[in-house]
Amino acid sequence: MTDLERQGAAAKKAAVAMALATTEQKNKALLAIADALEARQDEWLAANKEDYEAAKAGGMNSSMLDRLLLTPERVAGVAEGVRQAAALPDPIGVVTKEFTRPNGMKIQQRRVPLGVIGMIFESRPNVAVDAAVLCLKAGNACILRGGKETIRSNICSEGIMRKALESARLPADAVSLIHDTSRETAKELMHLEEYIDILIPRGGAGLIRSVTKEASVPVIRTGEGICHVYVDSEADIPMAAKIAWNAKVSRPSTCNAIEGVVLHESIADAFWKEALPLLAEKNVEIRGDGPTCSLLGERAKAAAPEDWDTEFNDFILTSKVVGSAQEAIDFINEHGTQHSECIVTENPETAELFLNSVDTAAVYWNVSTRFTDGFEFGLGAEIGISTQKLHARGPMGLEELTSWKYVVTGDGQIR
Amino acid sequence: MTDLERQGAAAKKAAVAMALATTEQKNKALLAIADALEARQDEWLAANKEDYEAAKAGGMNSSMLDRLLLTPERVAGVAEGVRQAAALPDPIGVVTKEFTRPNGMKIQQRRVPLGVIGMIFESRPNVAVDAAVLCLKAGNACILRGGKETIRSNICSEGIMRKALESARLPADAVSLIHDTSRETAKELMHLEEYIDILIPRGGAGLIRSVTKEASVPVIRTGEGICHVYVDSEADIPMAAKIAWNAKVSRPSTCNAIEGVVLHESIADAFWKEALPLLAEKNVEIRGDGPTCSLLGERAKAAAPEDWDTEFNDFILTSKVVGSAQEAIDFINEHGTQHSECIVTENPETAELFLNSVDTAAVYWNVSTRFTDGFEFGLGAEIGISTQKLHARGPMGLEELTSWKYVVTGDGQIR
């Protein structure tokens, strides 16, 4: 047995206990985690400082360094998030369907945990805690595999969480971190079918794609977002400009920010007259097709072919002019990543065509794509945004971390 | 582009049209398929006769030959199944959740098709039709890959289905069969991520395992069934014997038949006194652990280690004696395939422990495991029985062939 197999076996055993844990026990563990993160924040901050100094010495850029940094305020935010998770309704044990068959047997579909969840993530030190507590609340065990740049911070928070689990008489092994951050352990994790029920990668498109390609454990693909706003011929133009502006500039690094606008030819000129001043504020670079460049002159540059399939995470916006809503739908289905797409129109029929035809986790009519988020949707928490159709689609809350079983009771029925 | 990629691209295009098809259109297509299968049954029977003769000449055994054979009665049964599928409620477009957020935006979770479903199956000629119509009813396109021994029958039914789709003004490409039955095309199908949303293998354990291992397309694992009946110390013994007998002998080739009994030591003797005469009827072979062999003498033989992990599909039954319900749970969680497991007991607390602790798609209390089946559960149809926890678990009906999307409407909300 390898170290990781031993870790997997321990997690699987812990998952059995977690599946039987009461709501009170799980909440007690979560509150103990929140309290301990605050009570022991000096340790966590000190470990993080070491990570930070090492990354800085290694030449990490300032925006990445900022993601890596823990502060007392950020610790308080993490602890608050854990307390919110404790306050959420327990999804486990809920009877989701119930019926009696003609032979008298009673069938219940009951919600149960998935089992052992593997999380692979990159640099933020809060992710280990955020992800672990959602897994725990849904009755799962988890194995965490963070990046090497946060390994000291993560080892510290792992210790805090394991101790808190024990204080609630739950198995410490319900949370464990892979301490060896080499590529080999990540690869081994992706093939640990015997112990891992599902793998959720969180991070950039490169990470997600490599995990999806490599893993034999089932993966939930999350987070890659090439999103668009389509402005229809019958759009309220000021609303369209405001939505496109908000979806682009309010936080361009997020997956629910747009990368492009798709404009009906009849309103392209009017749209730009409204939108340009708004976008100028952040100096948004526009990369357009031929018609866009004709309209905008020097304000736009010609888009390269790969621009239509790039998630910029930056103040860059593509612009494509189309002759019809159907053409916009086809363009979006070809270049989008099935994350979030928006139509701005006053025509309900065109809207319904778009809402039904665009193949995406979330589709918006006259609303910014920036709302694709577990908190904004009211799920109370989020472990990621699924861009696949199997098991979970869109923001993943606690329910998406569960499965079900059928419980059949009777008095001797045979077939 | 390979032939299969072209086929995949055509299916993906057809899936877009299927997703927009009305319930009436889909039902019209299904009824046209049922009618055409009967109207053109001479063609189908003739193609099947060629398959049958070739398989017979190739030395196929008689039980396999029987699975391969179509008769007018079997054709009528297939057509009837298609009509029943047409009569089922359409799962698509159903609003599964609906809520309004404080900012006034309205969020609907709507059920949508999965897209393109790949089916890999073995010898029965009805499977191509049964599987295709469920995919179609749930608004999907499908690509079918059957065994070479039924290729003539399947090419015939493919032609009938494609023509019927066109008669309902739906794209013929919503159903297509892979005509080249070489290993290479199966392997290529398992990696056709760009066009296939989900792959469902139907057949023996070997097929399921090789697809699960090989495929990069998401797979739903179905059908492997090492199931058990645990007879508790507080069981109604005649009921236990009757359930074990039914679950073993009523149809041993099915996945929901049991392979073993697990007996509390305090009732093992009493159980066998009731069960042996019932099992003797079919001359069931008993392979037991030490205590079983001591009890049964020559009536049992010693189980080999691999017997505990074998799906016999035959009149063979293992027997394990345990000291407690917990020991039974541990044994079943180690050797079962998460398909169907049963406890016979009059003690509700012991039952609840078993129902909650055994990790399986369906768990039974005083009911035979043979009921794990889409029709018996009242789903109206079934495309397989999932033994995994992701996306679908247990009998898979129409709902399990769908995904969802979030539709968000508002009047200019920004974040």
Domains of chain B (ranges plus CATH)?
3-221+390-409 (3.40.605.10), 227-375 (3.40.309.10)
* Of the partner residues A363, A404, A414, the one whose CB lies closest to the CB of residue B405: A363
pLDDT of residue B342: 98
| pLDDT, tens only, B237-264 | 999 999 999 999 999 988 999 999 999 9
In one letter, which amino acid is B149? Answer: E
Chain A CA closest to residue B237? A412
Q: What's the mean pLDDT when you consider all of chain B? A: 95
Q: What is the pLDDT of residues B187-215, one digit of tens each?
A: 999 999 889 999 999 887 788 888 988 88
Give the whole-angstrom CA distance, residue A173 versus residue A177: 10
Dist CA A365 CA A344 (whole Å): 6
CA nearest to B110 within chain A = A356
Q: Which residue has the higher pLDDT, B300 or B382?
A: B300
- In this prediction the pTM is 0.92
Of A115, A362, A410, the CB nearest to B389: A115
Evaluate if residue A10 carries a pLDDT over 80.
yes
> Using the 8-state DSSP alphabet, how is residue A90 labeled?
P
Say if the Cβ atoms of B378 and A404 lie within 8 Å: no
- Partners of residue A337 in chain B, C-beta under 8 Å: none
Query: What does the alpha-carbon distance between residue A299 and residue A229 come to, in Å, rounded to a whole number?
Result: 20
ipTM of the shown complex: 0.93
Residue A194, CA distances (Å) to A18, A103, A173, B300 in order: 18, 38, 16, 33
B368–A413 C-beta distance less than 8 A:
yes
Q: pLDDT at position B203, please?
A: 81
The C-alpha atoms of residue A188 and residue B223 are separated, in whole angstroms, by: 27
Residue B244: C-alpha distances to residues B229, B239, B241, B337, B373 (Å): 6, 9, 5, 18, 18
Q: Which residues of B touch A194 (CB under 8 A)?
A: none
pLDDT of residue B187: 93
Among B13, B385, B390, B402, the residue to mutate for chain A (most A Cβ within 10 A): B390
Contact between chains at B406 and A363 (C-beta distance less than 8 A)? yes
Our CA-based measurement puts residue A292 at a distance from the nearest CA of chain B, in whole angstroms, of: 24
Q: What is the number of other CB atoms lying within 10 angstroms of the CB of residue B191?
A: 14
Query: Does B123 have pLDDT greater than 80?
Result: no
Which candidate from B371, B394, B407 shows the least CB-CB separation from A363?
B407
Segment A164-203, tens digit of pLDDT: 999 999 999 999 999 999 999 999 999 998 899 999 998 8
Q: Which of A105, A197, A404 sits opposite B367 (nearest CB)?
A: A105
The burial of B17, by beta-carbon neighbours within 10 Å (0-12 exposed, 13-18 middle, 19 or more buried), is given as middle
Contact flag A390-B114 (C-beta cutoff 8 Å):
yes
Would you say residue A381 has pLDDT above 90?
no
CB contacts, 8 Å: A247 with chain B: 414
Ramachandran class of B402: left when φ > 0, alpha when ψ lies in -120 to 50, beta otherwise = beta
Q: Is the pLDDT of residue A78 over 80?
A: yes
Cα–Cα distance list, B42 to A402, B37, B146 (Å) = 49, 9, 21
- Identify the residue among B389, B399, B402, B409 best suited for mutation to test binding to A, counting A beta carbons within 10 A and taking the highest: B389
- Report residue A98 as tokens: 């119930």
Distance CA A186, CA B211 (A): 23
**Given an 8 Å threshold on Cβ–Cβ distance, is A390 in contact with B198?**
yes
Confidence at residue A205, expressed as pLDDT on a 0 to 100 scale? 78
Q: Who's near B215: CB < 8 A, 6+ residues apart?
A: B190, B191, B199
